A and B are shown apart, each in its own frame.
Chain A
Amino acid sequence: MALLSTLLSSAMRLFAFALAGILLCLPTASLAGAEPLLVTVVQSENTGAYAEFSAALRESLPNGNVVLTVVNSGQPLPPKSSLIIAVGMKAASELGGDNAHAVLNVMIPRSGHKKLLHDFPKRENSHLFSSIYLDQPVERQLSLIAAAFPDRRNLGVLYAAPAPDEIGELKLKAAEFGFSLYADEISANVTLFQEVQELLKHSDVFLSLPSPTIFNSSTLRNILVSTYQAEVPLVGFSASFVKAGAMCAVFSSPAHIATQTSAAIQRFADSGTLPSAQYPKFFEVAVNERVAQSLNIKIQGAEELQKKMNSPRRRAP
């Protein structure tokens, strides 16, 4: 059985690859004639971060060989689009099944990319379907913590079942950075508040992994105040989280993603393929100086921390 299914899936993959190759011939051929590449941005919404992304992308594309059209999710695609940039999960979910187009999903979480592949299995291993995530790689977060709190070694995280991929990666990487990891799966029998109290007993820095069950606007107050009172810095996952009271975070703005998208478009124009799904290349650090000051925790400024993170220097375990 197992052998048969492996064979079948290999055959399907081969078929998909062949199909993709045929489909590719057309745009590649037209590119050779220096025809401009028609790129359509499909925004999940025409507001806030989505619109910010589209504006930044338009600015970052060199003039000439790319024609950019921006539409909103649900609107018809302009004819002859060679590449679709789906901004956000709503747009990505709508376009994932559209096998006629190459699709680059941007500003989606990594778990969102996984879900898309699950929902649209034909897209797996395709060079015409890729994503640029919005969330940050575990290694980068560890590197921020190491730079910001060189004296803290007990790292705590909470997660809800099923364990996100980050947990496995954290378990692998934490020691490399000299951290001992306390990773606790929240349980239905204990209140979240108690889970946080328990974590604070074992940790001197608390890394938040995105989870609507754990971090939402009704739980955030207790989590932030508890960590503040325990004098344990909380590492957030967005600029807004830092503003709310987390000590620091590494995050990528729509403009950062747009710069990376622009490079992917260039690559597509040159080679007809999309780079493999990837984390954001560009990022910045946010620091809540008031929280640091109030807790008397010496933390460097955002720029200094970013510089320190960029110069790779791991701690001895």
Chain B
Amino acid sequence: MSRPSNLRLQLALLTACILAYSNANMAEELAITEQYLLQEFPVVLSASRLSQPLNEAPNAMTVIDRDMIKASGFRTIADLFRLVPGMYVSYFTGNKPIVSYHGTTDDSARRMQVLVDGRAVHMPPMAAVAWEDLPLQIGDIERIEVIRGPAAASYGGNSTQGVINIITRDAGAVLGLQASATEGNGGILDASASFGKRGELIDFRVSMGYRSDYGYDPNYKNSTVGNDTLNNDSHLTHLLNLRANYHPNAQDSVDVQFGYTDSTQGDGSNKDFDPNIPHDNKHNENFGQLTWAHSLGGGDELKLQYYHIYQDVLNTLPPNPTFGLPALSDSYTNTRDDIELQHTLQTSPDNRLVWGASMRHDWTSTTSRFLNDQSQDQTTLFAHDEWRMTPKWLLNIGAMQENSGLGQTNLSPRAALVYKLQERQSLRLGVSKAYRNPSLYEERGNYHFPVIGTLYQSTGSLRPESVLSQEIGYLGEFYEQGFSIDARIYHDQVKDVIYETADSPKNFANLFDAEHKGLEITTKHQWGNRNTLTFNYTYQVLSSDFVAGSSPYTDTMPRNLISALYSKTFADEVMLSLGYYQQDSVLPIDRPTTDRQPFTTRWDMRIAKGFKTGSDGAQGEIALVVQGLLGEHYIDYLIENQFNQRVFVTATFRQ
């Protein structure tokens, strides 16, 4: 008898426990206290993760988002910058894009800072960006923020004209499998596949891809022989990217990235008197990046970032019997190691301070461009402050102290005052002084080959270039009307521009001063059933006493630039977009008159149809893109670069 009663007792106890437990649970859930409602949560989406509202930014800023990237139909990252007012996009050869803003554009456009997830990718020895070598697929881009105007106070050297800030998709932003393939004329053949997974503690994504085309069409006759030039500017690039994010708690996040590209790129031509005969180069670039972000509460954040970039270009010019030249090496290898610490502090509800420091070690090894291996150690110390003086007035002040490691130390300050006329309308007044330190090549270059001799010999001791920029900006957002306008007028005084001399061998010197003035307008309209139109207009005037070779300085950038992108989404997942790009005549600073680009216009079109394959949630899309819809053809940078219509089809599958 004792057993059953014991059992009954146990059961009763158990029931009581369960009841007590469930009651406790209930009480816990019922007993939300005001303390819960009033608690301070850790700031998860911190300012450094998000973009700054345009009406509070200290500079004019253009944001290119995923929708715009898609609607544009562009295959290359460089082309996207056609959607930024004042931006000049061209190609030195089919595989060497040039992206430049305002004056002094040449083939290695080195006056803009280019960051990919905070990684500075303008590499030694020239401080230029090898766009085609970047381990970065267009599909992995989350958004691009382009800061128009000097921003050295926040972004350091090379920011004298502006900053391109490319932000790639978070590790957890890609879910499942996605694959796409593109084929078109001009040898266009691209493919990419990505896979991503989001987890409670770890997110990751992997993407790999392939992109290739033949470059420009051969349609320029050599003057003496009369045969077609051979545009040996094709490329075939393989890419691999990996990104993982570990978030053990609400305060810490560790982001790890690896990227790799391997590219075969055509170089040289059969142009008259060119010793650089057609051959292929091997490009290899890879990087590793580690970022630790720690939220300190109340919006404060500490961020520590380290990255390493390796770049190697194997360029062996084949022997040239006509010139009596042996095989010549113009190869180079570069590395960059950079560590940066940044602390964001909300010092009061009305004031936010960001300060930090960085150290960078660059190394370059090339037998043709220097007499020996070169290294450069740069350090920066920076602070900027955002103070909401009143609900109407916002003051941004900042400065960066920079030591180039090559003998230059400079302080780049900036101040911007924003006045909110109304909730969505603001006026901005900005003044900024920015410096660009000479590159390793400008300071110490010695470009020489056996037999040919020395082409460039830098004597060094250059002063940094400086820009004093003043601007007035207006930003109006009228949501009810579906309209926004962003306009600015600017006046930049550029001093001590470092440019190559006419000596033989050539040298680099602080050769000239210049003035850049202009107006930039961006409007955005949204109306009806998903119609959007982005319109950019630029008017710019360049002036300087300097005459570079054959053209007055004022002609070195197009005076008027227009770009527009219209898109509409129809029922049944049909999407149409049209792009229009117009540019006044231009003769870049380093080109002879034969290369003058006349007034050009170009229409691009993209038509896409999305579809769902069934109940398993798989989706797909077929898109047709026509670049040069009306059969436009024009000279791009060099006379032998003639743009002809490109048509390609992209099929995308997602699961």
Contacts and interface: CB of A to CB of B under 8 A. Distances in A.
B65 interface: yes
A10 interface: no
A43 to B, nearest CB: 11
Interface stretch (A34-42, A71-79, A221-229, A259-267): A221-229
B33 A89 contact: yes
B445 to A, nearest CB: 41
B34 A112 contact: yes
A290 B37 contact: no
B41 A88 contact: no
A88 B67 contact: no
Contacts of A228: 45
Given A109-B34, A111-B30, A300-B479, A218 B47 contact: no
Given A162-B26, A221-B249, A243-B299, A301 B424 contact: yes
Contacts of B30: 111, 114-115, 162
B35 A88 contact: yes
B632 interface: no
Nearest to A159: B29
A303 B424 CA distance: 11
B616 interface: no
A296 B247 contact: no
Interface stretch (B50-58, B95-103, B582-590): B50-58
Interface string A189-208: 00101000100000000000
Contacts of A303: 423
Contact of B44 (A108, A244, A293): A244
Interface string B21-37: 00000111111111111
A300 B31 CA distance: 34
B34 A134 contact: yes
A45 to B, nearest CB: 9
Contacts of B51: 290, 293-294
Contact of B42 (A191, A212, A238, A244): A244
A217 B200 CA distance: 14
A107 B38 CA distance: 10
Interface in A285-316: 288-291, 293-294, 296, 298, 300-301, 303-304
Residue among B35, B53, B173 with most chain A CB within 10 A: B35
A220 B250 contact: yes
A108 B249 contact: no
B2 interface: no
A162 B63 CA distance: 45
A88 B33 contact: yes
A107 B36 contact: no
B44 A112 contact: no
B9 to A, nearest CB: 28
B572 interface: no
B479 A298 contact: yes
B198 interface: yes
Contact of A245 (B29, B37, B43, B247): B43
Contacts of B39: 217, 238, 240
A211 interface: yes
Contacts of A244: 41-45
B45 A224 contact: yes
Given A210-B36, A245-B43, A303-B423, A294 B479 contact: no
B52 A245 contact: no
Interface string B247-271: 1011001000000000000000000
A44 B38 CA distance: 13
A90 B34 CA distance: 10
Contacts of B479: 298, 300
A279 to B, nearest CB: 13
Interface residues of A, number: 55
A229 B172 contact: yes
B40 interface: yes
B170 interface: yes
Interface string A25-60: 000000000000000000010001100000000000
Contacts of A129: none
Contacts of A49: 34, 38
B44 A210 contact: no
A217 B41 contact: yes
B172 A134 contact: no
A199 B592 CA distance: 62
A229 B198 CA distance: 10
Nearest to A106: B34
Contacts of B26: 162
A241 B41 contact: yes
A238 B41 CA distance: 10
A109 to B, nearest CB: 5
Given A224-B45, A244-B45, A197 B198 contact: yes
B45 A290 contact: yes
Contacts of A225: 44-45, 170, 172, 247
A91 B253 CA distance: 39
Contacts of B29: 160-162, 164, 211-213
Contacts of A179: none
A88 B34 contact: yes
Contacts of A288: 45
Interface string A141-165: 0000000000000000000111010
Interface string B578-609: 00000000000000000000000000000000
B224 to A, nearest CB: 55
A258 B56 CA distance: 33
Given A220-B250, A293-B54, A238 B38 contact: yes
Contacts of A112: 31-34
A290 B43 contact: no
A240 B40 CA distance: 5
Contacts of A241: 41
Interface in B166-220: 170, 172-173, 198-200
A268 interface: no
Contacts of B31: 89, 111-112, 115
A88 B32 CA distance: 11
Nearest to B32: A109
B33 A221 contact: no
Residue among A164, A240, A300 with most chain B CB within 10 A: A240
Interface string B468-480: 0000000000010
A90 B26 CA distance: 18
Interface in B45-85: 45, 47, 49-54, 56, 63, 65, 67
A290 B53 contact: yes
Nearest to A293: B53
Contacts of B36: 109, 210, 212
B34 A193 contact: no
Given A162-B26, A294-B51, A298-B479, A240 B34 contact: no
A176 to B, nearest CB: 24
A210 B45 contact: no
Contact of B37 (A238, A298, A300): A238
B65 to A, nearest CB: 5
B53 A296 contact: no
A244 B50 CA distance: 12
Given A212-B28, A290-B52, A298-B479, A48 B247 contact: no
Contacts of B299: 243
Given A112-B33, A221-B250, A222-B200, A48 B38 contact: yes
A64 B126 CA distance: 79
Contacts of B44: 220-221, 224-225, 244-245
10 contacts: A134-B34, A212-B29, A217-B42, A224-B45, A228-B45, A240-B41, A243-B43, A293-B50, A294-B143, A303-B423
Given A212-B29, A240-B39, 10 more contacts: A89-B34, A115-B31, A134-B34, A162-B26, A220-B250, A229-B198, A289-B53, A294-B50, A301-B423, A301-B424
Interface of A: 44, 48-49, 88-90, 107-109, 111-112, 114-115, 134-135, 160-162, 164, 191, 193, 197, 210-213, 217-218, 220-222, 224-226, 228-229, 237-238, 240-241, 243-245, 288-291, 293-294, 296, 298, 300-301, 303-304
